[in-house]
Amino acid sequence: MEIEAEKIKPEALLKEDLGLDSLDFVDIVVIVERTFGFKIKPEEMADVKTVGAFYNYIESKL
């Protein structure tokens, strides 16, 4: 997965704007879980569509 830095903005849609597929998302989730030491439940991520929403989700778990 390679994403240009200028595309990563709070309003960027994970799938549509950044082109992430389900395998990319799994990779990101594993990295976040290992880095921050908490588990991400799939049902909690159902409404996370943007970079900003994902950031807010992570921040709420810290």
pTM, entire model: 0.85
pLDDT, mean of residues 8-20:
96
- At residue 2, does pLDDT exceed 90? no
Tokens (6 digits) for 42: 């799939």
Q: Residue 34 sits in which domain range?
A: 7-61
Reference 36, options 9, 10, 5, 58; nearest CA is 58
Cβ-Cβ contacts under 8 Å for 37 (sequence gap 6 or more): none
Q: What is the CATH number of the domain that holds 15?
A: 1.10.1200.10
Share of the chain above pLDDT 90, in %: 84
Q: Compute the mean pLDDT over every residue in the chain, rounded to the nearest whole number.
A: 94
Q: How confident is the model at residue 46 (pLDDT cuts 50, 70, 90)?
A: confident
- At residue 1, does pLDDT exceed 80? no
pLDDT, mean of residues 12-41:
95
Long-range contacts of 32-37 (CB under 8 A, 24+ apart): 32/58, 36/61, 36/62
**Does 46 map to a domain?**
yes
**Does 47 map to a domain?**
yes
- Return the active site residues: 21
